[in-house]
Structure 1
Amino acid sequence: MDWNRIEGNWKQFSGMIREKWGEITDDELDKMEGKREQFEGKLQEKYGMGKDAVKKTVDDWLNTLG
């Protein structure tokens, strides 16, 4: 799955994101409006991951969605 589909259906996918990454709040997700860069930045902030690790984690998650 590509990020454009996530961004286009952000409200629908934000619930799945909250299940996987529970440290991110609904308000934070709303402010991101589906922007991948903002999402990855928030993962770095909340989970203390490096940029490359976050990108791989998000890519792996996208692959599980199909």
Structure 2
Amino acid sequence: MKWSHVQQNWAAFYDAIVEKWPEVDEADLDEIDGDQRAFVSYLAEATGQEPSEIREELREWLAGEIPSDVVMDPTHDNHSIALSAKYVGEGEDEYSDDARFGDDDEHENEGDR
């Protein structure tokens, strides 16, 4: 992942940040608001590590995948749908209604039987 993913979805990354750096406080993260330099400085102070060590940890953390709870955030829906296009048959639109394939209206039609 890239820092821009983190910055754009800052609050959604709180759980992943706290998991990696349990010393952080969410109120402080609110103030940082995705600023990478401020985040590195804050982590150095909170953990007692050198900023260079924090930058290396951050590089390693960013090499991982975007946490699923961030990917599942509704703001990413269109991107996820667009990525699904490779699984949609030729001539079909990945944005089309898929109700005929699932049970989207199953409960509504139960009274019709």
Task: Say whether the fold is shared (TM-score over 0.5).
Answer: yes
Match of 1:17 in 2: 17
Alignment of 1:43-62 (within 5 A): 43-62=43-62
| C-alpha distance in structure 2 between counterparts of 1:3 and 1:51, whole Å | 17
Structure 1: 5+ residue stretches without partners: none
Greater helix fraction, Structure 1 or Structure 2: 1
Quote the residue 2:32 is aligned against.
Answer: 32
- What residue identity is the alignment partner of 1:22? P
TM-score when normalising by structure 1? 0.91
| Structure 2: runs of 5 or more not aligned | 67-113
TM-score (norm 2): 0.55
Q: How far does the alpha carbon of each residue in 1:21-51 deviate from its partner, in whole angstroms, 9 at most, with x for none? A: 1111010010010111111111100111112
Question: Whole-Å Cα distance in 2 between the matches of residues 65 and 55 of structure 1?
Answer: 18
Q: Give the distance between the partners of 1:3 and 1:45, measured in 2 at CA.
A: 20
Q: Report the structure number with the largest CA radius of gyration.
A: 2
Aligned length: 66
Compare relative contact order (CA 8 Å, sep 6+) and give the higher one, 1 or 2: 1
